[in-house]
């Protein structure tokens, strides 16, 4: 089963009067791990969120940008 891992650093933008000029790089990362299952011939996608507070994240793409992007 092939696995792909994507790490995206967190940032904080639009701080104070700097508008789109100022921002901070944070030592936090969003890690997305994608597993492909060759036995899945239906094309159905299953999303699972893991980690701190993951149970509070909505899986509905209308309410979660990450889910919407993953299903795009």
- State CA 59 to chain mean position distance: 11
What separation in angstroms does the CA of 63 have from each of 9, 18, 27, 31, 68? 22, 29, 26, 20, 8
pLDDT of residue 17: 64
Mean pLDDT value of segment 61-70: 79
pLDDT score of 66 more than 70:
yes
Rounded-to-integer distance, Cα 41 and Cα 23, Å: 44
pLDDT of residue 37: 77
6-65: per-residue pLDDT in tens?
888 877 765 566 556 666 777 888 888 877 777 877 877 777 788 888 888 887 878 887
Question: Is the whole-model pTM more than 0.85?
Answer: no
């Amino acid at each position: 089963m092939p696995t792909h891992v994507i790490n995206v650093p967190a940032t904080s933008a639009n701080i104070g009067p700097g508008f789109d000029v100022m921002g901070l790089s944070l030592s936090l990362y969003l890690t997305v791990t994608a597993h492909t299952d060759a036995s899945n011939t239906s094309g159905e996608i299953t999303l699972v969120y893991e980690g701190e507070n993951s149970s509070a994240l909505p899986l509905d793409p209308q309410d979660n940008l990450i889910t919407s992007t993953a299903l795009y």
